[in-house]
Amino acid sequence: MRNLYCLFFFVLSSCVVQLSYGQTRNTTISGSFNALSFKQFAEAIEARTDYRFYFNPTDVDSLQVQLQVTDQPLISLLTRVFEGTPLRFAIDARNRVFITPNQPVRTNLPVGFFDRGPATAADDSAAVDYSATREKTRISLETKLFEIGARGANSRTGNATLAGRIRSTTTGEPAIGVYVLIEKPRIGVTTDQYGTYSITLPRGRHELKIRSIGMTDTKRQIMLYGDGKLDIDMDEEVVPLREVIVGAKKDLNVAGLQMGAERLDIRTIKQVPTVLGEADLIRVVLTLPGVKSVGEGTIGFNVRGGSAGQNLILFNDAVIYNPSHLFGFFSAFNPDVIKSVELYKSAIPARFGGRLSSVLDVTTRDGNKKKLVGSGGIGPLTGRLTLEGPLFSEKTSFLIGVRSTYSDWLLRQLANAAYQNSKASFYDLNLHLTHEANDKNTFYLTAYTSRDQFKLNSDSLYTYENQVASLKWKHIFSSKLYSVLTGTYSRYQYAVSSEKNPTNAFKFGFDIQQTAAKVDFNYYPNAQHTIDFGVGSTLYKLQPGNLQPSGAASLIAPDVVPGEQGLETALYIGDRFDVTPRLSLNVGLRYSLFQNLGPSQVYGYAPGLAKTTNTIQDTVSYGAGSVVKTYQGPEYRVGLRYAITDDLSVKASYNRMRQYLNMLSNTVAVSPLDIYKLSDSYIQPQIGDQFSLGLYKNLRANTIEVSLEGYYRTLTNQLDYKSGATLLLNHHLETDIVNAEGVAYGVELMVKKLTGKLNGWVSYTYARSLLRTTGTFASDVVNNNAYYPSSYDKPHDITLIGNYKVNRRFSISFNVTYSTGRPITLPLAKYVLAGAERVFYSERNQYRIPDYFRTDLSLNIEGNHKVKKLAHSSWTVGLYNLTGRRNPYSVYFNSANGGIRGYQLSIFGQPIPTLTYNFRF
């Protein structure tokens, strides 16, 4: 009987609860809730109804309620309040409202709960959804409030500096070029090559937005009380089956102060079709406006009217002298180790110096800090393999990449004996170590070596090598100041040898080395200023030429050109100053000092006569370490950006550069036999001044970037050569060199779209590059001292790069390029003088070879996207020179049967198919 009473009481109480619950659920709410915190909103609802709220204050501290309702149930109100947030709610039978992130609380047990057996491997509830777990983690971090600095009496007024590092969640590597900003007031910065950022903000509550192309956008809620640190991890972007337009912040095109700069990541580089199927950094750089090449088969490039020797090519801050492999068909950079590439064409930052035209700054990846992984590929001529991972712990990582060619083996398989007698091979090896000692000290070590050798149906063997090393120590003093101490070593050497005929067997060699040390500081005093300053010194050592007999039977006489050495020292300071939110200035000064050092012999020439071997009067000798000649001077850097609207800005800049190391070549293209010469008593430093003006506009919510830049450059102390000049083994180069001055000007238009299924860019460049000699003697005058086109003057250039994502596994890439033919000097007639037949030539570079046009196409096929498999692979099928156009690389003439006949040489005169297999594990 007692059990019956208990059962009756339970049923009665349940009915009462359900009745009251139903009555409460039917309760409607009216009122205006304006600018209330969620806690205030909950208290207001509790005062009007029987609902009681349960939540963690930190989960809702960033939530603000703005509602005006009439006779609405609580469920409708909460649905509107939590829309677009990760917060969920549940209401139980006792009118308790539970607020939780990500998943709602279950208020009752599922039907049949007590009848369930143990979970099995096939049970859905036992499975782990890793993507959901990562999403939960991301949402939790984005809604959490991070308190920065210590609270105090002055923690609510003034400014404070927030600094930290941004890294990839997947690999632990630093994320370069990430945009960190707040919207009101609009303040933003980008991370440097170490993934470091420092931003000065008003103290108080902010939503920090972190955005980058190729990464998933994220944000952080911060309460800034004082200076402090916040490290952030970003997820790499995963492309879903359906198209998603990434809202990455790309308004740096408009908002950024830097102009004349192009940044490329490895994803973009790998999408552009190339001649032999392998991603090629330099080939992609050549598709940018203002960057030209004299033709196929050369890796050298010319920027805004400058020569190939006026480009500073840096590999983790170490100089690369010859960035080519295999006759220029491959660049020296293994695509699997590269993280990003930045090209500066104007407004070159004050920390860079030593070259007139451009800086190509190549940065490697640090290596995966989470796990051991690998990647590689096999193409028509090359194979490559890269391994990376943590070393001992996640504080240390390594990256090692090796690449080589098997073209020697292919040449031996050809039936033509001429090819079988040829040789062409190369290899390169990359090593990069990163060690994070603690939060304030990180060390980086980079080593690179490469070797090429080739001969073309001859007995002369050509070899050249690059060796590069750099060691960096980054030290963080505070959130406002950090430094990077860098030491680098670079060496480039080549040799030519022949041993087929023992009496003429020889070996010729050239060697250049440079050792450099520098320290750079970055200081962020407040929100308006970003200051960088530093000092550095470089020691050059050259062996300009060394000819030696090879073997006891050789009759070749030894000939050694005396070595050279010089010391270049520079200090700099630059300040980026935000005058107003719309007006920014960048001012800098670099002061460089160069000393040509002994031992050296300087020839003295008869005054009033041209410098020739016949006018040498005396020789002055300088001892080891003594100063032969000193040059010095300031290098100015000024930049300005004015934002007309949020998506339209105008920029202007001026910079002066000095160059003390000259590359000498009497070939149009970059050649392994080019030599280098330091400024000395007769060869003065080159000086370049550039004025630039640009207009920048973003369209369609920053998904399309449009830029229009114009520039004007003056070049002084340029070098040109007398007709028939000899550069190799020349003990007095000043007798074959003529002084010149140059002018270059042009306009560059670029439209870029880097998001969506169809992306790419199109560019048009109009550019002129002119020279004129300044000599007074007949032997030093070219074209009567009137302006003539330089060898790399190509007025018109149009490039189209496109990528279309068909679906998740298939994509199509294409590029189309057209350019004006380069200048050439032609023979016009033959005549007889003093009984000898001679050739009459046109004025220098008066004519041009035919225009250049080429179309390339490639199909990229990804493997299946199973998470667990031995390796993830892809195929790239390409067709280079789709139309089979015979673009002339050069035009030359031969005398035959009493006449002169002209010929055109084409490197690739037909379509070149390629097939490349890529893998990663």
Say whether pLDDT at 898 is over 60: yes
What is the average per-residue pLDDT within 301-315?
93
Say whether pLDDT at 725 is over 90: no
Q: Are 431 and 446 in contact (CB under 8 A)?
A: yes
What is the average per-residue pLDDT within 567-595?
94
Q: Using CA atoms, how far apart are residues 767 and 293, in angstroms rounded to an integer?
A: 13
> 47: pLDDT confidence band, cut at 50, 70 and 90?
confident
> 204: pLDDT confidence band, cut at 50, 70 and 90?
confident
Say whether pLDDT at 335 is over 80: yes
Say whether pLDDT at 620 is over 90: yes
Phi, psi of 133 (to 5 degrees): -60, -45
Q: Quote the mean pLDDT of the chain.
A: 84
Say whether pLDDT at 525 is over 80: yes
- Return the ∠ at Cα 433 (arms to 431 and 434), rounded to 5°: 155
Q: Are 294 and 822 in contact (CB under 8 A)?
A: yes
Q: Using CA atoms, how far apart are residues 658 and 536, in angstroms rounded to an integer?
A: 15
Residue with tokens 């004129």: 772
Going from the C-alpha of 542 to that of each of 321, 496, 677, the distances in angstroms are 13, 17, 8
Most confident of 25-39, 286-300, 316-330, 793-807: 793-807
Q: Quick check: helix, strand or coil at residue 264?
A: strand
pLDDT at 127: 38
Q: Are 781 and 305 in contact (CB under 8 A)?
A: no
Say whether pLDDT at 491 is over 60: yes
Q: Using CA atoms, how far apart are residues 394 and 388, in angstroms rounded to an integer?
A: 12
Residue range 169-195, pLDDT digits in tens: 888 888 888 888 888 777 888 888 888
Residue with the larger pLDDT of the pair 21 and 565: 565
Q: Which run of H or E residues covers position 388? A: strand 382-391
pLDDT at 74: 86
- Which residues are CB-contacts of 7 (< 8 A; sequence separation ≥ 6)? none
Per-residue tokens: 550: 């090879």
Residue with the larger pLDDT of the pair 821 and 891: 821
What DSSP assignment string belongs to 562-623? PPEEEEEEEEEEEEEEESSSSEEEEEEEEEEEEEEESSEEEEEE-TTS---GGGEEEEEEE-
Residue range 62-105, pLDDT digits in tens: 788 888 888 888 888 888 888 878 788 888 877 888 888 877 77
Q: Which residue from 911, 917, 916, 908 is spatially nearest to 329, judged by alpha carbons?
A: 908
Q: Which residue from 754, 805, 802 is spatially nearest to 273, judged by alpha carbons?
A: 802
What is the average per-residue pLDDT within 414-427?
74
What is the DSSP pairing of strand 704-721 with strand 737-753?
antiparallel
Residue range 208-249, pLDDT digits in tens: 999 887 778 889 999 888 888 899 988 876 543 333 333 334
List residues bridging with 712 in a β-sheet. Answer: 691, 745
Say whether pLDDT at 631 is over 90: yes
Residue with the larger pLDDT of the pair 4 and 572: 572
User: Residue by residue, what is the 3-state secondary structure of 613-631?
Assistant: HHHEEEEEEECCCCEEEEE
Q: Using CA atoms, how far apart are residues 573 and 346, in angstroms rounded to an integer?
A: 18
Say whether pLDDT at 434 is over 50: yes
pLDDT at 734: 92
Count of helix runs (H) and strand runs (E) in the chain: 10, 57
Q: What is the pTM of this model?
A: 0.81
pLDDT at 9: 39
For the chain, domains (ranges, CATH) are: 23-101 (3.55.50.30), 135-249 (2.60.40.1120), 261-920 (2.40.170.20)
> 257: pLDDT confidence band, cut at 50, 70 and 90?
confident
Using the CB atoms, write b or e for 589-621: b if 16+ within 10 Å. Answer: bbbbbbbbbbebebbebeeeebbbeeeeeeeee
pLDDT at 22: 41
Say whether pLDDT at 294 is over 90: no
> Comparing 186-200, 564-578, 604-618, 644-658, which segment has the lowest mean pLDDT?
186-200
Residue range 139-171, pLDDT digits in tens: 778 888 888 888 775 666 788 888 899 988 888
Say whether pLDDT at 424 is over 70: yes
Say whether pLDDT at 122 is over 70: no
Say whether pLDDT at 518 is over 70: yes
Say whether pLDDT at 126 is over 50: no
pLDDT at 627: 96
User: Residue by residue, what is the 3-state secondary structure of 322-384?
Assistant: CCEEHHHCEECCCHHHEEEEEEECCCCCCCCCCCCCEEEEEEECCCCCCCCEEEEEECCCEEE
Torsional class of 23: left (φ above 0), alpha (ψ -120 to 50), beta (otherwise): alpha
Say whether pLDDT at 128 is over 70: no
pLDDT at 866: 62
pLDDT at 154: 66
Residue range 668-690, pLDDT digits in tens: 555 667 889 999 999 999 999 99
Per-residue tokens: 609: 């006569």
Q: Using CA atoms, how far apart are residues 558 and 547, in angstroms rounded to an integer?
A: 5
Query: What type of residue sits at position 468?
Result: V
pLDDT at 261: 87
Q: What DSSP state is assigned to residue 732?
A: -
> 601: pLDDT confidence band, cut at 50, 70 and 90?
very high
Q: Are 686 and 717 in contact (CB under 8 A)?
A: yes
Q: Quick check: helix, strand or coil at residue 41?
A: helix
